[in-house]
Homo-oligomer: A and B are copies of this chain.
Amino acid sequence: MTPSFERLQQVLKKLPGLGWRSAERVALHLLVERPAALPELLAALREAAERVGACRECGHLAEGDTCQICANPRRDPSVLCVVERVPDLIALEKSGAHGGRYHVLQGKLSPLKGVGPEHLTLTKLSARLDAGGIRELILALGNDIEGEATCHYIQERVAAGRGVKVTRIGFGLPSGGDLVYADATTLRSALEGRKNYE
């Protein structure tokens, strides 16, 4: 192999889901088997790097100032779903279960990792609440310690006293999940989150 080939293979190997063998396969594809694929990939990467940024409102991926969700007049602007990162937002979008807008925190509070409130988009969230028209804030963060702390902080320091209803997504047994394979925390959440049988 040549040095540039090996460098390409190393960079490809860092991508999620690619191991050493599949990185070699992709590099060979680009350099030998289908040489037209390389300029095509270069162009797509360059274009994405140039055009894709963050939505000024919510932090989702956007081309231009505003993302497709914030710009969509059919999305309910009064319900704001707070997520940690863009992939969480995408997962929720795929479920089709949320008809409102989003707010991407860009992380969660973690004193151990040195992530404080100033590293999250909390000032922006506060400004969005100030701007009015928001009726419900759905906190769609995980229920690990950091997620809990972040929810608590938002409830106490950002949303409190503004007449905004703050809710949190439900936790429990996943759909199709088997009790036998669920961990203790999940089962505890499932019991705590129990509802009346209708």
Contacts and interface: CB of A to CB of B under 8 A. Distances in A.
A191 interface: no
A167 interface: no
Interface stretch (A34-42, A133-141, A172-180): A34-42
8 contacts: A1-B68, A3-B63, A7-B47, A11-B44, A15-B41, A32-B85, A33-B87, A39-B49
Chain A interface, DSSP helix/strand/loop, else mixed: helix
Contacts of A44: 4, 7-8, 10-12
Interface stretch (A20-28, A114-122, A124-132, A152-160): A20-28
A18 B90 CA distance: 19
A11 B40 CA distance: 7
Contact of A87 (B28, B47, B62, B67): B28
A14 interface: yes
Contacts of A10: 44
Contact of A42 (B14, B17, B45): B45
Interface residues of A, number: 50
Contacts of A27: 48
Nearest to A104: B32
Nearest to A67: B2
A4 to B, nearest CB: 4
A105 B44 CA distance: 32
A109 interface: no
Interface string A86-129: 11001000000000000000000000000000000000000000
Contacts of A166: none
A38 B29 contact: no
Nearest to A28: B87
B41 A11 contact: yes
